[in-house]
């Protein structure tokens, strides 16, 4: 049986509220840090923590806006994400605060920790990896791949997987190529899965209601990318 609880912690000068999910039992298990989409930590994002706990992971869905509440207005979401993207050190500090909650929990095997992120949350976990954080694997689902500090990829210790839709207007081919160059130049163990016809936010069923061109749920891409993540976990947590 999975148990969940909200965890209050401080980051970026504000109180964050994340969701911790624990698998049944009392033994140490691999940990997975989850970074939500740009809109914020809502019920769907928190449900990902429970889903991973059902598979035997200690999962913590961090909060990077504050208060554990999603942002409502599109302009506020865009402004917040753009503000953070321009300051990689700030992103890394916020992500690291969430990582500390996860690795300091008594059930977490701190030698086996992954970080996964969705949309702008993908940028969060990639920046956390670029900081040299002790991560075993990093997975980005339709993530922002660009960075202000590509040279910091030399610090990455994790195996990296990014899952991108070929028709995603927010992650165009030039950005994918720049990321490839960044990873290759730094000798990172990385892989990029491209999902034909998939658009942005293909893992979130509510994206169909966003009313934005290029944003659409894709069940097959969602399922295939989830299996790709689990395949990487099988590889690194064995």
Contact 159, 231 (CB under 8 A): no
Q: Report the alpha-carbon angle 206-208-213, nearest 5.
A: 130
Contact 61, 139 (CB under 8 A): no
Helix extents (H) in 86-218: 88-103, 120-130, 173-185
Please state the separation of Cα 155 from the chain's center in Å.
Answer: 18
Q: Is the pLDDT of residue 210 over 90?
A: no
State the pLDDT confidence band at 238, using cuts at 50, 70 and 90: confident
User: What is the number of structural domains in the chain?
Assistant: 1
Q: How many helices (H) and strands (E) does the chain have?
A: 6, 8
Taking only the tens place, the pLDDT of each residue in 33-83 is 999 999 999 999 999 999 999 999 999 999 999 999 999 899 999 999 999
Average pLDDT score, the chain: 97
Length of the chain: 238
**Closest listed residue to residue 139, CA positions, set 183, 190, 75:** 190
CATH number at residue 125: 3.40.50.1820
pTM for the complete prediction? 0.98
Taking only the tens place, the pLDDT of each residue in 166-192 is 999 999 999 999 999 999 999 999 999
d(CA 124, CA 36): 9
Residue 233 belongs to what domain range?
A: 3-237
């Amino acid at each position: 049986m999975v148990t969940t609880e909200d965890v209050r912690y401080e980051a970026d000068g504000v109180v964050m509220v994340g969701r911790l999910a624990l698998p049944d039992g009392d033994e140490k298990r691999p940990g997975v840090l989850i970074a939500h989409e740009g809109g914020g930590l809502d019920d769907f994002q928190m449900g990902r923590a429970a889903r991973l706990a059902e598979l035997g992971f200690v999962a913590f869905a961090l909060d990077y806006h504050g208060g554990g509440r999603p942002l409502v207005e599109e302009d506020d979401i865009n402004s917040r994400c753009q503000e953070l993207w321009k300051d990689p050190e700030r992103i890394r500090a916020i992500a690291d605060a969430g990582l500390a909650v996860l690795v300091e929990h008594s059930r977490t095997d701190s030698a086996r920790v992954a970080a996964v992120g969705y949309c702008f949350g993908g940028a969060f976990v990639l920046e956390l990896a670029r900081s040299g954080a002790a991560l075993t694997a990093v997975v980005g689902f339709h993530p922002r791949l660009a960075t202000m500090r590509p040279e910091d990829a030399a610090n990455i210790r994790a195996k990296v997987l990014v899952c991108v839709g070929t028709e995603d207007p927010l992650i165009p081919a030039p950005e994918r190529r720049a990321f490839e160059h960044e990873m290759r130049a730094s000798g990172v163990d990385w892989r990029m899965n491209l999902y034909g016809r998939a658009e942005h936010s293909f893992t979130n069923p509510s994206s169909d209601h966003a009313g934005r061109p290029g944003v659409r749920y894709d069940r097959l891409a969602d399922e295939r990318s989830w299996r790709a993540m689990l395949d990487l976990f099988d590889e690194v947590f064995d």
